[in-house]
Amino acid sequence: MTAFQALDLPEVILVTPRRFGDARGYFCETYVKPLYAANGIVADFVQDNESLSALPGTVRGLHMQAPPFAQAKLVRVLSGAIFDVAVDVRKGSPTYGRWAGARLTAEGGEQLFVPQGFAHGFCTLAPDTRVAYKVDAFYDRASECGIIWNDPDLAIDWRFTGETILSDKDRILPRLKDFDSPFVHSNG
């Protein structure tokens, strides 16, 4: 059975889809809307994305889009492995500024659900890592914002020691303390 596991931040959910193995390999359902919704993954996904990172230690993040283009994401790995991270940036949230993460591998097929109001990023742990993710709002360049990956206040353990590789854009992102989050926590 597909397994759904809430992480330390309970809105962030690790999914391990069931695989049906046979002599050919395996078959696996990677997204089933009503099943996922019944397990806390409520989103109308409208776009699928894929990235390739050649080298281990490639960090992409921490990214989000501001409302009304805020995106929930369902992330998985097609080849290689990542440590995938979500940071709660909802003002007023009891878990504001805390992070949760999970190792996602092509071998295991795990997925991470990152809700709206959370910054998202990952570090690749293997060469030629391809990451695919569904999002529930379209890309909007003007709405993009983010937090620096190594903010000491977040103290994310990326599970990687060695030289990291970042885009020019990601190298100059602000720390959380200097970031005016466009997200507000609500209980409803």
Ligand X SMILES: Cc1cn([C@H]2C[C@H](O)[C@@H](COP(=O)(O)OP(=O)(O)O[C@H]3O[C@@H](C)C(=O)[C@@H](O)[C@H]3O)O2)c(=O)[nH]c1=O
Active site residues: 63, 133
Stretch that binds ligand X, among 12-20, 26-34, 60-68, 175-183 (CB under 6 A): 60-68
Could you give the C-alpha distances from 37 to 13, 59, 131, in angstroms and in order?
A: 12, 29, 22
Nearer to ligand X, 86 or 93 (CB): 86
The token pair that represents 158 in the structure block:
């990326």
Q: Binding residue for ligand X (CB under 6 A) from 3, 167, 178, 184?
A: 167
Residue with tokens 């193995």: 21
Instruction: Kindly indicate which of the ranges 1-9, 32-40, 95-103, 114-122 contains the residues binding ligand X, using the contact rule CB under 6 A.
Output: 114-122
Report the residue number, 36 or 131, with the smaller CB distance to ligand X. 131
Amino acid (1-letter code) at residue 125: L
The residue from 61, 80, 101, 109 that contacts ligand X (CB under 6 A) is: 61
Q: Tell me, residue by residue from 2 to 31, as one string, x for binding to ligand X by CB under 6 A and - for no binding.
A: ------------------------------
Residues 140 and 68: beta-carbon distance below 8 Å:
no
How many of the other CB atoms lie within 10 Å of CB of 78?
A: 13
89 burial class (0-12, 13-18, 19+ CB within 10 angstroms)?
buried
Residue (of 83, 71, 141) closest to 110 by Cα position: 83
150 part of the interface to ligand X, by CB under 6 A: no
The helix (H) or strand (E) run that includes residue 170 is: helix 168-171
Residue 49 touching ligand X (CB under 6 A): yes
Q: Kindly tell me which of 93 and 129 has the beta carbon lying closer to ligand X.
A: 129
Give the residues lining the site for ligand X (CB under 6 A): 49, 51, 60-61, 63, 73, 120-122, 139, 167, 169
